[in-house]
Each structure stands twice: as C-alpha cells, then as structure tokens.
Amino acid sequence: MNLRAPSLLKPAGQGGVATPHGDPGAQGGPSFRDLLQRAMDEVATDEQVASQEARNLMTGQGTDMHTAILAVQKADVSFYTMMAVRSKLIDAYREVMRMQM
C-alpha cells in the first residue's frame, strides 16, 4: 500500500505560506479547476483502493487486515476532507453573493 503525502501543496515557501504546484499566474500553470479535479481524482482512487483491499481481505487473497483497515481509513479521511473543502467553497460563494456592489 502506498501512503503518499497530499500532492496539491508544496512545502511552505519563503513567505511561510504553502503554494500550489506551478505558478497559477504563469502561462501553463494549473487552474483552480484542475487542482480540484486532481483532488477529486485522488479521493476516487483512494476509494477504489479501499474497496479492492476490503474485497481481497474478505476473499482471502493475501491482504492482511492491517493493510485493508489503513486503506479504508485513508479513503474515509480523504472523503471527509473533500467534503470540508466543498463546504468552505460553498460558504465562500454565498458570502460573495451577499456582497453589496
């Protein structure tokens, strides 16, 4: 099982703030849509891996319980993180819509 760090953010830069891969202002840098799509793809991949690990555990195909539980927990954390980001985005959108022009 491959436990990887979140790939959307690099370590903190000189200003002490995490920056996304690439410079969004530069040509060819990832757009906000691309970053969200990549994050959703990672969540879907984690879910597929968890399902496969659980299936392997139930059918006795060489997966130990520890690996299966870790895969399911990783998928669970990824999903809840995605839901938290979605909620924050919706809140931000609503706040912008309430602004007076």
- pLDDT, tens digit, for every residue of 62-98? 778 999 999 999 999 999 999 999 999 999 999 999 9
Q: What is the pLDDT of residue 38?
A: 93
The predicted structure's pLDDT at residue 15? 47
Among residues of the chain, what percentage have pLDDT more than 70? 73
Which tops the pLDDT comparison, 58 or 13?
58
Q: How far apart are CA 50 and CA 82, in angstroms?
A: 16
Please state, in angstroms and rounded to a whole number, the distance separating the CA atoms of residues 91 and 71: 30
Please, which residues have CB within 8 angstroms of residue 13's CB and are 6 or more apart in sequence?
Answer: 19
| CA–CA distance, 34 with 6 (Å, rounded to integer) | 15
pTM over 0.95: no
Asked if residues 29 and 22 have their Cβ atoms less than 8 Å apart, the reply is yes
Would you kindly state where each structural domain of the chain is located, as residue ranges?
28-98
Instruction: Look at residue 24 in the predicted model and tell me its pLDDT.
Output: 53
Higher pLDDT, 63 or 55: 55
